[in-house]
Amino acid sequence: MSKRLPSSSSLTNEATTTNSKLTRRAFLRRSGLAAGVVAFPTIIPGSALGLNGTVPPSERIVFGGLGVGSRGTGVLNWMLPEKDMQFVAICDAKKSQREAIKRMVDNRYGNTDCAMYRDIREFLAIRTDIDALLIATGDRWHALASIMAMRAGKDVYSEKPSAMTIAEGRAVVETAKRYGRVYQTGTQRLSEDNFTFANELLRTGRLGQVHTVRAHIAPWDAAEMRHDWLPAEPEPSLDEVDWDQWLGPCPWRPYNSAYTRGGWRGHYDFHTSCIGEWGAHTFAQCQVAIGATDTAATDYAYVKNESGDGMETRFANGIKMVLQREGWHGSCGVRYEGTEGWVSVADGYSKPDVSSPELLLDFSKLVNDYMARTQRPMSHVRDYFNCIKTRRQTVAHPEMMHRSMSTVHAANICMWLKRDMKYDPAKEEFVNDADANRLRSRAMRAPWTI
């Protein structure tokens, strides 16, 4: 992997020394020190040599973060114990968050090396040593930041939902392909044993002919989001909060501190609604299970409520996916129903619920068979790091992300326009519906454009 980049101060010192009449190397040569006339003991830490179970620097993935807030901190906590990853820098529009991540990382490594940046353009331009990034901004930035990072030669782990529109999702796919980058979206349940077991029950035919899958959507907020904005407050200094960068590609809105504390949710400018909040996970889970990672649902039936609860979508293979707010004792649940039985699982389940106890007898076997067949670990971040090294597709690769998010966006558009609609996944457009097709993309505020 890449070597670490020196700090700006050491770069300055190095340049000054190199440009002087008598360089340090020349001085040592002339004084005889370089030839060993005077010998000094050198102590090299074992970690620098890859001893005592550590990974030598040349084999480590040099890592950075962009917009790592509360959710991103949790993901970073999963990543930091991985011995072949070295986190070196954080970029964030908020000073308090930059400093919080620096403290966390420095405490982990026992040093003060984690560098901080405010401007994403400067960050990507300067840190050519960084191999990969964790992108955990708010929804509005996920796709654009991923595209900018991949253009700069970085591999990307992006939190979900990874695109605000169908057009953004396609742009992420094409950028990853063009620049040969490894990309993982943060649908981590694709790398958890309970959810993997449910998928394998379906794949191996133990549920019979599957006709219906159910996807949990968030039981708060609505599909129809706010189009107003919060009242203006005095804008802080650029160093405290770079408001222009915080907004990024979104329309200009007056500063309000509530936005920077998570109050952007429920606003059309910044969010993907209650459908996208959990559907980014559960739609992906369902589409992987039914083998629909290269397509999206084709039919969407409008329901007369504020959330989309009960909406029926249908795929070209005839399987129906129902959006559902209740039915699980946990978050981000899925349920698969077939002619021979059903399975249901959500976060916090010790084991999935099943129609017959016999279905659970092969739990370990099915999970182990999946890992052996796919060479995927039951760790989403480990899968990402492995793929960085091998350059294979991740389990939550760009096309899967884009197709499942296309279903999310189409369901949202169905609710916004309040009518049934048909979507053509091959053309990535709605059938005979100009209003819906206009909503496949959003205007992006310069200079934050794709």
At 131, list the tokens. 């191999």
Q: Which residue has the tokens 């129903």?
A: 337
Taking phi over 0 as left and psi of -120 to 50 as alpha, with beta for the rest, 363 belongs to alpha
At 165, list the tokens. 């529109």
Domain 189-223+271-377+397-438 falls under CATH 3.40.50.720: no
Q: What is the pTM of this model?
A: 0.88
Q: Which of 434, 394, 417, 407 is nearest to 166 (CA)?
A: 407
**Measured in Å, how far apart are the chain's first and last C-alpha atoms?**
28
Q: Which residues contact 130 (CB under 8 A, 6 or more apart)?
A: 2, 5, 62, 63, 64, 88, 89, 154
pLDDT tens digits, the chain, 450 residues: what are they? 544 444 433 333 333 333 333 443 443 344 443 333 334 444 445 454 454 567 888 889 999 999 999 999 999 999 999 999 999 999 999 999 999 999 999 999 999 999 999 999 999 999 999 999 999 999 999 999 999 999 999 999 999 999 999 999 999 999 999 999 999 999 999 999 999 999 999 999 999 999 999 999 999 999 999 999 999 999 999 999 999 999 999 999 999 999 999 999 999 999 999 999 999 999 999 999 999 999 999 999 999 999 999 999 999 999 999 999 999 999 999 999 999 999 999 999 999 999 999 999 999 999 999 999 999 999 999 999 999 999 999 999 999 999 999 999 999 999 999 999 999 999 999 999 999 999 999 999 999 999
Domain ranges of the chain: 189-223+271-377+397-438
Task: For residues 64 and 1, give the distance between their C-alpha atoms in angstroms, rounded to a whole number.
Answer: 14
State how far the alpha carbon of 294 is from the alpha carbons of 27, 140, 160, in Å. Answer: 63, 24, 18
With beta carbons less than 8 A apart as the criterion, state whether 172 and 183 touch.
yes
Q: Which residue has the tokens 């401007």?
A: 119
